[in-house]
Amino acid sequence: MTNFHRLGLTALCSFGAATAYSQKLPNILIIVADDLGYGDVSAYGSQTLLTPNIDRLAREGIRFTNGHASSATSTPSRYALLTGMYPWRKRANILPGDAPLIIDEAQPTLPKMLRAAGYTTAAIGKWHLGMGRGRIDWNGLITPGAREVGFDYSCILSATVDRVPTVYVENGRVLGLEADDPIAVSYSKPFESEPTAVTNPELMTRMRYSHGHNQTVINGIPRIGYMRGGKAALWKDDEMADFLSAKVSTYLDTIPKDRPFFLYYGLHEPHVPRVPAPRFQGASGLGVRGDVVVEADWCVGTVMKKLEERGLLANTLVIFTSDNGPVLDDGYQDEARELAIAAGHDMNGGYRGGKYSLFEAGTRVPFFVYWPGHVKAQTSDALFSQHDLYASLAALVHQEVPQGLDSENHLATLLGRKGKGRKDMVVEASGRLALRSGRYALVPPYRGDSTNITGNELGVVGHYTLYDLDADPSQQQEVTSRNPRLLRKLRERFRALVGNYYNEDQQQEQLK
Ligand code: CA
């Protein structure tokens, strides 16, 4: 029996000081896709879009059917995953590309906890948690950033693919920047004499916007925000998957052999703008949105192959998930909606809502745990939230969890051994909150602002609404009036959890 096998059997028990065991700890790889839906991976049964590499993790590991992001948008969701805190306590919302770092430098984080256990840590890919303290000088060292959050190495996009600056930031510095062409970024007004998608629509040679996204045009694609300079540092959209994948490979080639690693790999797919590498164009038959999902699947296959080549696979716990639910038209004319409807592709996997939504598809996301020799192939319907990774992994590596975290230790559930996961959780969408409790969803008064595959608005819910997800997973029939006592109990529980963070009067006012 190897040390790793021994660890697997004893991980749930208490053992000695972490330092004494640090060389036996597993490597941890967390892959977070961007806006990938429950129905976008074939592991959940859909055959309209095939994702064989992601499916392998699901088939040989644990296929969670009730895994959740804490939020239906990126910044809050990633904040929760990395800090173990509910993001609404911080009023975290989608950040512009020049926003200051949203995680306090003194705050406990997942990578800091793992670093304390002896891990070397890295973040590669999508970030979207801000950097600096405001008024960023993109031409110098940008700090605080990923390093202060706990990552020894980082190569990241400051925000999203559709927001400026469209450059990679490696260890706090813009990669490839030339001194005589400094970068300036503004989210308030355009730079004088610089063209935008509005003044010069002919610049949109690659893609046009459908809403928003009408400011600086880069690589023929209009973006959110204004940017000037940095020409040599601009990323190439159709090379991003290869670029980030190569950074991951290089990282795995160069990690120290005597320490376990923690890698947070933020895939940029299938967030807009969707620009697949040429070899993936047309690969899905679903247009660019499907093509970049195939590309993301290739990225997963590539990192798994690399782990195997380096002899790391057996010692690595791999977690694959998405930061929030899916969306079709998210600001560009890329035919995602038309082609999904034509092919009958249900990115939500039968759940209601999607990105931005308090309904189930906003936060119920693909979630798979793979650890050969330690995790048995199975399906789990336990409720597990990404913000529980902190406390659960802390238990695995025998680290203390600080007081006051929202993260709960569900290591047994995470490793498929026993346990039912969370009893309940608060889900968040653009600052609005709802409760998931067992088989029930409690949605407070709410104006649904996402759309389903047919493009129908989800409408207004003017009262507290209860859904039974076991009987009605697509949340079509409220069971509110049939369960007055349960409604009262869950409203009390919701109020106890969210306290002053939820203002009912304000919510009612917004519905008028
Ligand atoms: Ca996202």
C-alpha span between 151 and 310 (Å, rounded): 22
* Structural contact between residues 304 and 313, judged by C-beta atoms closer than 8 angstroms: yes
pLDDT at 9: 37
Rounded distance from Cα 126 to ligand 1 centre (Å): 9
476 or 82, greater pLDDT: 82
Where do you find CATH 3.40.720.10 in the chain? 3-11+28-174+235-423
Rounded distance from Cα 144 to ligand 1 centre (Å): 23
Rounded distance from Cα 430 to ligand 1 centre (Å): 12
Query: Both ends of the chain: CA-CA distance in Å?
Result: 65
Rounded distance from Cα 78 to ligand 1 centre (Å): 9
**CB neighbourhood size of 190 (10 A):** 17
* Structural contact between residues 369 and 41, judged by C-beta atoms closer than 8 angstroms: no
Residues of the chain above pLDDT 90, percent? 87
The answer, yes or no, to whether the previous bond of 273 is cis (omega within 30 of 0) is: yes
pLDDT at 458: 58
Rounded distance from Cα 346 to ligand 1 centre (Å): 18
Residue-by-residue DSSP string for 2-37: -HHHHHHHHTTS--S-HHHHGGGSPEEEEEEESS--
pLDDT, average across residues 302-310: 98
Rounded distance from Cα 24 to ligand 1 centre (Å): 34
pLDDT at 440: 98
Rounded distance from Cα 163 to ligand 1 centre (Å): 13
Average pLDDT, the chain: 92
pLDDT, average across residues 282-291: 97
pLDDT at 470: 97
Total length of the chain: 512
Whether 285 shows a pLDDT value over 70: the answer reads yes
pLDDT at 10: 40
Whether 22 shows a pLDDT value over 80: the answer reads no
> Of the candidates 399, 408, 315, 401, which has an alpha carbon nearest to the alpha carbon of residue 118?
399
506 or 301, greater pLDDT: 301
Per DSSP bridges, beta strands 27-33 and 261-266 are parallel
User: Residue 430: phi, psi to the nearest 5?
Assistant: 50, 45
Rounded distance from Cα 20 to ligand 1 centre (Å): 38
pLDDT tier, 449 (very low <50, low <70, confident <90, very high otherwise): low
For 176-200, how does the pLDDT look when each residue is reduced to its tens digit (9 = 90+)?
Answer: 999 999 999 999 999 998 999 999 9
CA geometry: angle 129, 349, 123, nearest 5 deg: 25
Rounded distance from Cα 4 to ligand 1 centre (Å): 34
Rounded distance from Cα 146 to ligand 1 centre (Å): 18
Rounded distance from Cα 354 to ligand 1 centre (Å): 11
Contacts of 137 (CB under 8 A, 6+ apart): none
Rounded distance from Cα 323 to ligand 1 centre (Å): 5
Rounded distance from Cα 339 to ligand 1 centre (Å): 21
Return the axis-axis angle of helices 240-254 and 287-309, rounded to nearest 10°: 10
Rounded distance from Cα 74 to ligand 1 centre (Å): 4
Contacts of 259 (CB under 8 A, 6+ apart): 22, 23, 118, 119, 120
Rounded distance from Cα 32 to ligand 1 centre (Å): 9
Q: Name the β-bridge partners of 125.
A: 156, 266
Rounded distance from Cα 34 to ligand 1 centre (Å): 4
51: left (phi over 0), alpha (psi -120 to 50) or beta: beta
Residues of the chain above pLDDT 70, percent? 92
Place of tokens 């080549």: 309
Rounded distance from Cα 192 to ligand 1 centre (Å): 32
**Residue 291's Cα: distance from chain center in Å?**
19
For 131-178, how does the pLDDT look when each residue is reduced to its tens digit (9 = 90+)?
Answer: 999 999 999 999 999 999 999 999 999 999 999 999 999 999 999 999
For 317-376, how does the pLDDT look when each residue is reduced to its tens digit (9 = 90+)?
Answer: 999 999 999 999 999 999 999 999 999 999 999 999 999 999 999 999 999 999 999 999
Q: What is the pTM of this model?
A: 0.94
For 234-243, how does the pLDDT look when each residue is reduced to its tens digit (9 = 90+)?
Answer: 999 999 999 9
pLDDT, average across residues 115-126: 98
**What is the CATH topology of the domain spanning 425-511?**
Arylsulfatase, C-terminal domain (3.30.1120)
Whether 510 shows a pLDDT value over 90: the answer reads no
Rounded distance from Cα 254 to ligand 1 centre (Å): 29
For 203-237, how does the pLDDT look when each residue is reduced to its tens digit (9 = 90+)?
Answer: 999 999 999 999 999 999 999 999 999 999 999 99
C-alpha span between 263 and 98 (Å, rounded): 24
pLDDT tier, 418 (very low <50, low <70, confident <90, very high otherwise): confident
pLDDT at 82: 98
Rounded distance from Cα 128 to ligand 1 centre (Å): 9
pLDDT at 6: 39
Helix, strand, coil percentages, rounded to 5, for the chain: 30, 20, 50
Rounded distance from Cα 489 to ligand 1 centre (Å): 32
C-alpha span between 476 and 407 (Å, rounded): 31
* Structural contact between residues 111 and 82, judged by C-beta atoms closer than 8 angstroms: yes
What's the CATH number for 3-11+28-174+235-423? 3.40.720.10
DSSP label at residue 324:
S
Where do you find CATH 3.30.1120.10 in the chain? 425-511
pLDDT tier, 462 (very low <50, low <70, confident <90, very high otherwise): confident
The one-letter code for the residue type at 472 is D
User: Residue 488: phi, psi to the nearest 5?
Assistant: -65, -45
> Of the candidates 159, 79, 142, 104, which has an alpha carbon nearest to the alpha carbon of residue 390?
79
